[in-house]
Structure 1
Amino acid sequence: MRKFIFSIIASILIIGVLTACGSSDKASSDSNTVSIGYFPNLTHIATIVGLEQNYFQEEFGEKTKITTQTVPNGGLFMEAMATDAIDVGTVGPGPLLNFYVKNPEFHIISGAVNGGAVLVANTNSEIQSLEDLDGKRVAIPVIGSTQDVMLRKALQNVNLKPTSNGGTVEMHAAAPADTVSLFVQNSVDAAATQEPWGYILETQADGTLLLDWDEFAWGKESTNTVVAASASFLENEDNVKAYLRAHIKAVNFIQENPKEAQQIVMEHIKDLTGKELNKDELEAAFAKLEVTTAVNEQVIQEMADISLEAEYISNNDIEGMINLTFLQELENN
């Protein structure tokens, strides 16, 4: 069964689909198209619930055509947004700020998920603490990802550095779907990854939880997923507010109905892949994240500081990247 579940989730992260859905009549009287992007995984639950509960349809006008695009990682999400293939959606703050520094056309307009990422050790590596990562090889989803930045933060806390910065910890970029094989083959000593991959490493690859979601990097304040919007999308205030109203509805629904929300995610992913996730594994992973609209701006700035030190960006000036004006207006009314 575990191999079966692993194969299902592995297939999810390589899917790129375009789907279209209708809408009703609140956002605009003019015809327009809005493309919503997200990853088909648990940390993007707010977008999935918003789509499945028809919240976006309810909040956008009947003349608005909504398309959706799924991508497997933040780099591809941001590339799609940079080429106008995605207008708004959910992504990790790491890839977004990397793009923003080069071209300040991309903005955070809401939070979506805090936590949801863990640090798991390969039992065969006999790692029992962060200090034991000295001289070890750690898998990350992709260079510059949010988990990459979180690992760098954790290493800072014990005076360790990646080899790319003159340190002793090798960071190995690998798709989350590959981490189980890397553990089994003893090709990596640990992995900084998002859920449910951490849970899968524990249950299918004899991994040991080194730092749980509330301990890894900034703990419960670790911003894993945010709502990102292009500058051109922000020019249409009606569209921005329509999206955020739907997003707030989705967040509230998930907070009030966690079991039903998990079922919605399972069915959504089944529709995309034709296969069904394991309910117990999904529930265990859901317990390691917090769905929220809140954004910790200090944490985002620290992420930029770490990205600068890693030489992913040329400067850490992200002033203007976070724009919560519309969100605050809606939440205060």
Structure 2
Amino acid sequence: MKKTWIFTIISVLLLGVLSACSGGGEKSSSSSNANTVKIGYFPNLTHIATIVGLEQGYFQEEFGDDITIETKTVSNGGLFMEAMTTKSIDVGTVGPGPLLNFYVKNPTFRLISGAVNGGAVLVASEGGGVSELADLDGKKVAIPVIGSTQDVMLRKALQEVNLKTTNNGGTVELFAAAPADTATLFVQNSVDAAATQEPWGNILESQANGKLILDWDEFAWGKDSTNTVVAASDEFLKNKELAAAYLQAHKKAVEFIQQNPEEAQDLVIKHIKDLTGKEINKDETAAAFQRLEVTTEVNEQVIQEMADISKEAGYIDSNDIDGLIDLSLLQ
């Protein structure tokens, strides 16, 4: 019993650090004018391209000294898209799930590049009785937020074993929870599994006795699973020079990460410490980094299947996303 309480206390303390890293709400700078580019992202590993681009000065280098960069961090894709809708974000990285959900309702945003594939896993809690995907029948699974990319990926995986979620007449219950809170849910036996992005999947294994059910190259579309993309508003894209400059900086960041993975991870750790005052674990970051692929490529078929699944789930009325993907500037 004593050991359990010690573990719980340690976990809570750790989660205090990680919750801060995940950006429990929003954080932004506060200038806005015609010469400002507002870049949005999540302060976590799957947004490594944006973080490296900022840390290495690639965005400022490509924009030039006349442009002021304003940054805004959010904790989930819904908040990102709301900020883009209200013009608090011009361009940045977000999951394709929230992006296409908002696009169907308000087609004034574009997917202009890939950023990260993979980076998400399915992990079972120690006492949940789940040892394979089919065991999720009648179980409760944590996801970051309803309609998130990990939500859609889980639904794709469930199709393989003829399971559905409860809101679609099935038996698998979804439980929305911030990734940083999932380890506590595991310790409390409040959920049986979690579909989550990195580094939270690795943390569930190392800190909460979680069992990996589907690794990043097996979950949903495997290595083609699009986790993070670059999204931009139509208004921002009117300035093709700025948009091209952003993408050039993004490509520089991707190439740097591919060629210097350890240094890139150090930049993520530094960036999050600068934002929050807390330092994430280097070994956990390195382990989580092995579960993703940084890329500018986009698998358009996967994005369309995500839209199909979102419609089936009732998140959107239409799966028509023609016009969402525009890779012309990237190419």
TM-score range for the pair, normalised by the shorter chain length: over 0.9
* Alignment correspondent of 1:169: 172
Q: Distance in 1 between matches of 2:25 and 2:273?
A: 12
Query: Are 2:271 and 1:262 aligned?
Result: no
Paired position in structure 1 for 2:98: 95
Cα contact 1:20–1:65 (8 A) shared by 2: no
Mapping of 1:276-295 within 5 angstroms?
A: 276-295=279-298
Identity %: 71
Aligned-pair CA distance for 1:197? 0.6
**Alpha-carbon offset, residue 17 of structure 1:** 2.0
CA root-mean-square deviation: 1.4
Hey, what's the Cα distance between the residues in 2 that align with 1:278 and 1:181?
18
Counterpart check, 1:105 vs 2:97: no
Any gaps of 5 or more consecutive residues in structure 2? 1-9
Secondary structure at 1:109 match in 2:
strand
Name segments (4+ residues, structure 1) moved above 2 Å: 1-7
Q: Deviations over 1:28-82 (max 9, x none)?
A: xx96211000000000000000000000010003211110000000000000000
| Distance of aligned partners of 1:31 and 1:124 in 2 relative to their CA distance in 1, 3 Å threshold | closer
Within 5 Å, give how 1:117-196 maps onto structure 2. Answer: 117-196=120-199
* SS of alignment partner, residue 85 of structure 1: coil
Mapping of residues 204-283 of structure 1, within 5 Å? 204-283=207-286
> Alpha-carbon deviations, 1:202-248, whole Å to 9, x = none?
11111100000000000000000000000101111001100000000
Where do 1:32-111 residues align within 5 Å?
32-111=35-114
SS at 1:225 equivalent: strand
Alignment of 1:312-323 (within 5 A): 312-323=315-326
State the match for 1:325 in structure 2. Answer: 328
Give the TM-score of the pair, scaled to structure 1.
Answer: 0.94
**1:161-189: per-residue Cα shift (whole Å, max 9, x none)?**
00000001001111112111111111110
Comparing 5-14 with 199-208, greater Cα deviation is found at: 5-14
State the partner residue of 1:24: none
Q: Does the CA-based 8 Å contact 1:31-1:63 persist in structure 2?
A: no
2-side partners of 1:317 and 1:140: how far apart? 25
For residues 90 and 52 of structure 1, do their structure 2 counterparts lie closer, same or farther at Cα, with a shift above 3 Å needed? Answer: same
- Aligned residue for 1:283, secondary structure, equals helix
- Please give the alpha-carbon distance, in whole angstroms, between the structure 1 residues aligned to 2:190 and 2:25: 26
- Are 1:6 and 2:15 matched, yes or no? yes
Query: 1:7-26 alignment to 2 at 5 Å?
Result: 7-13=16-22, 14-19=24-29
Deviation digits for residues 111-170 of structure 1, max 9, x if unmatched? 000000000001211211111100100000000000000000000111000000000100
**Contact 1:5 / 1:277 at 8 angstroms: preserved in 2?**
no
Amino acid at match of 1:19: S
Distance 1:186 1:196, change over 3 A: same
1:261 Cα deviation after fit: 0.2
Residue 38 of structure 2 aligns to a residue whose secondary structure is: strand
Partners of 2:137 and 2:11 lie apart in 1 by 31
- Give, in whole Å, the separation in 1 of the partners of 2:71 and 2:162: 43
Paired residues of 1:5 and 1:278 also in contact (CA < 8 A): no
Distance 2:134 2:207 in 1: 25
Whole-angstrom distance in 2 between the partners of 1:156 and 1:120? 17
Retained in 2: the 8 A contact 1:266–1:277?
A: yes
- Structure 1 stretches lacking a partner, 5+ long: 22-29, 329-333
Taking the aligned partners of 2:62 and 2:310, their CA distance within structure 1 comes to: 36
Do the aligned partners of 1:47 and 1:247 also contact (CA within 8 Å) in 2?
yes
Once residues 216 and 16 of structure 2 are traced to their aligned partners in structure 1, the CA distance between those partners, rounded to angstroms, is 24
